[in-house]
Amino acid sequence: MRNSEIVIGSRGSDLALWQANYIKDLLEKEGHAVRIQIIKTQGDIIQHLSFDKMEGKGFFTKELETALLANQVDLAVHSFKDLETNQPDDLSIAAILNRANPADILLIRKGFTDSNERWTLKKNIKVGTSSARRKMQLTLHRPDLEIDDIRGNVPTRVQKLRDGHFDAIVLAKAGLDRLNLDVSDLDAFEFDPREFIPAPAQGALACQIRSSDTELAEILKALHNTKIANLVATERKVLNLFDGGCQLPLGAYCIETAEGVELRAIMSPRYGEMPSSVFLKAKTTDGLAQKAAAQLKKKVLA
């Protein structure tokens, strides 16, 4: 058992605190003393820009990583999809947990559905998302939709929908499930992640620590899911090969099958340009991300 208290660094949003408390509870069940420290990130402070218009990468993670390096916290709990694919020096991922539902979901105001239209969305309605990846796929399949930026935490975005600022919004199903929000007053359509490709590692949680903290690394081994880690590493490798972050319109989704693994990926050089997609099957994930990225690059150049 660790002699000193484990300090978890977390953003202050409802979802980030749910994730931090989830890890806290698991560690406390093992007899460890744990405390959460809230840290504001660039993504929390800058609310007037969509991610594709913000400079740099790691909008929800850099300040947490700085706190780790400064020994202000011992552990940062991240939505793995928010983490840059290249780890800063002296930091490492000690555990990747069981993956929640990786799909995106549409929440739709009553009266704005049409069962004859794709995803049950009425024609020419206003959909809120600040994700370049979601914008790309919405526009690809439903060019009639008006896509507008929406920022704020999950409850804030849901309230903006209820208040009529949007007719529908797109969220990660995992975040909605974790917060257990009551959205029974809204209609919902859950995307098939094999068709509407999620962000790499969407739904997975990652525990980041200082590489030198071997004691905490040993403690976190009990939380690590090797199978999930391998699948999401493949997705994130596709993103890494394009040197991308939140602002890159790219989705990747890797799953196990009876025959091996399947990888689906979609991207465009920037939002507004026609995307390219790939679908690969293999026995293992070895080299799969590299093959997908090479095919995507070839298609984009073509």
Q: pLDDT tens for residues 26-58?
A: 999 999 999 999 998 665 444 444 444 444 345
Residue 237 pLDDT > 90, yes or no? yes
Q: Give me Rg for the CA atoms of the chain.
A: 19
Residues 6 or more apart in contact with residue 135 via CB below 8 angstroms: 52, 129, 147, 249, 271
pTM: 0.90
Mean pLDDT for 177-202 is 97
Are β-strands 34-38 and 6-10 bridged in parallel, bridged antiparallel, or unpaired?
A: parallel
The residues, ordered by sequence, that sit 6+ positions from 45 with a Cβ below 8 Å of its Cβ are none
**225 DSSP assignment:** -
Taking residues 192-219, what's their average pLDDT?
97
Residue 294 is predicted with a pLDDT of: 95
User: 77-111: per-residue pLDDT in tens?
Assistant: 999 998 989 888 999 999 999 999 999 999 999 99
Dist. CA 196–CA 198, nearest whole Å: 6
My answer on whether 91 and 109 are in the same domain is no
Is there a single domain that holds both residue 166 and residue 294? Answer: no
Tell me if residue 82 is catalytic.
yes
Q: 111 has which bridge partners?
A: none
How many separate domains does the chain show?
3
| 197 is a domain residue | no
Q: Specify whether 108 is located in the same domain as 94.
A: no
Mean pLDDT of all residues in the chain?
91
Q: Are residues 86 and 111 in the same domain?
A: no
Task: Say if residue 2's pLDDT is above 90.
Answer: no
pLDDT in the model for residue 296 = 94
Residue 29 domain boundaries:
6-99+204-224
Give yes or no: residues 95 and 111 share one domain: no
Q: Does 286 lie in the same domain as 247?
A: yes
**How many CB atoms are closer than 10 A to CB 30?**
12
> Is 95 in the same domain as 211?
yes
Residue pair 59/84 in contact (Cβ under 8 Å)? The answer is no
**Predicted pLDDT at 272:** 72
Catalytic residue among 52, 82, 104, 213: 82
What stretch of H or E contains 69? helix 62-69
The percentage of residues in the chain with a pLDDT greater than 90, rounded to a whole number, is 79
Considering the domain boundaries, does residue 263 fall inside one? yes
In a domain, 145, yes or no: yes
- Residues 153/17, Cβ–Cβ less than 8 Å: no
| Within a domain: 235 | no
Taking alpha carbons only, the member of 104, 108, 106 closest to residue 166 is 108
Does residue 91 share a domain with residue 18? yes
Statement to judge: residues 121 and 137 lie in one domain: yes
Between residues 57 and 16, which one has the greater pLDDT?
Answer: 16
